[in-house]
Amino acid sequence: MHFQRLRLSGFKSFVDPTEFRIEPGVTGVVGPNGCGKSNLLEALRWVMGANSAKAMRAGGGMDEVIFAGSGARASRNHAEVTLTIDNSDRRAPPAFNDSPVLEVVRRIDRGAGSTYRINGREVRARDVQLLFADASTGSNSPALVRQGQISELIAAKPQNRRLILEEAAGVSGLHSRRHEAELRLRAAETNLARLDDVAGELEGALNRLRREARAAERYKRLSAEIRTLQSAVLFARWSEARDAAARLREEAAAAAAAVETHTRQAAAATTRAAQAEEAIKPLREAETVAAAILHRLAIDKDRLEREGEALAAEVERLTADLARIDGDRARETQIAHDAQGALERMAEDLAALEAAIAAAPERVPELEAAARAAEEARTAADKAVEDRAAQAAAAEAR
């Protein structure tokens, strides 16, 4: 297999689609520092399945191989590298050996990872790596010599030199397949150990299922016996129900005859009831009149009872007024009696004063004044007694 073309788009400094043709013979790439010579080699490594961002000088992740933009150009969201291989000698793996030309494409979208395609069909990264390993090359092949790698090869360990010789001999793909086969073999051994565990679990489950099968057989046998017994019970019940149905049919016939007899009796009773209804109409009218009279009498009774209750309340009130008047009269009588006693005492005082006047002519003016005052008091007392007597008479009259 021979490389023919390398096409880049959006990969590092190659923002525009760029095609690099690899003609037969020696192809050289020259140019000043920073023009992108190393990016071509890294594009070859990347499209052949390199998965180390550090080897791609992308310390922050594989997304850094996408063009990040410049002062004059905007950044890109994807990068794509296509490698065209001549397969006219049919040395590719059998899965891709039908075409004389192989086109290997690797595309990366920002934040979404990489995808691989060979002749338009999506494949795994491992398939691409085996394709180039069979051709004694690859992303980590010593055939791709970077700066400082010669001195590393001189000082390399024997096992690293062995890798170079194996790749030169064209057996590196076989070693890759051997390693993959060993991994599959170990996975198969792990699966076999797991199968032994699963077989043990299945053996336990089989024993449990055997016990359950025996229980199921016993259940089926008991179910058959139960169904037989249930059939016998159902037959016995059916026989009883048949006898009961015959008895009930006889009873129904007798009941029908009785119903017919009672129907005739009911018709006769209905006729008598109609006649009685005609006879009872005058009595109902009389009952209506009596009910109206009774209702009116009840109303009169209620009215008289209310009037009697009002008269009783009035009598009770008048009795209370009479008792109060009796009390007032007794009090006024007591007052008149007290006033009479006061008049008698004043008369005695007046007599004493007159005697004193007669005994002492020189005190005549003073005593006359006292006498006039006593007379006025007696007059006021007489008037008060008369007023009380008039009030008592009026109260007694009421």
Taking only the tens place, the pLDDT of each residue in 258-295 is: 888 888 888 888 888 888 888 778 778 888 888 888 88
Q: How confident is residue 40, by pLDDT bands cut at 50, 70 and 90?
A: confident
**363 pLDDT more than 60:** yes
Q: Mean pLDDT check: name the lowest of 80-94, 123-137, 155-169, 274-288.
A: 155-169
How many whole angstroms separate alpha carbon 27 and alpha carbon 21?
A: 9
Pairing of strands 101-109, 18-21: unpaired
**141 pLDDT more than 70:** no
Mean pLDDT of all residues in the chain?
81
Q: What's the pLDDT score for residue 311?
A: 86
253-259-262 Cα angle (round to 5) = 145
Structure tokens at 143: 């055939």
Residue type, 388: R
Fold of 2-139: Rossmann fold (3.40.50)
* Global pTM value: 0.41
285-308: average pLDDT: 87
User: Looking up tokens 């086969």, which residue turns up?
Assistant: 181
Better-scored residue on pLDDT, 179 or 244: 244
User: Looking up tokens 């689609």, which residue turns up?
Assistant: 17
**23 pLDDT more than 80:** yes
Structure tokens at 266: 């009911």
Structure tokens at 294: 């009774």
Structure tokens at 322: 């009479």
- SS3 of residue 5 by DSSP: strand
**173 pLDDT more than 60:** no
pLDDT in tens, 181-212: 788 888 888 888 888 888 888 888 888 898 89
Q: Please, which residues have CB within 8 angstroms of residue 364's CB and are 6 or more apart in sequence?
A: 357
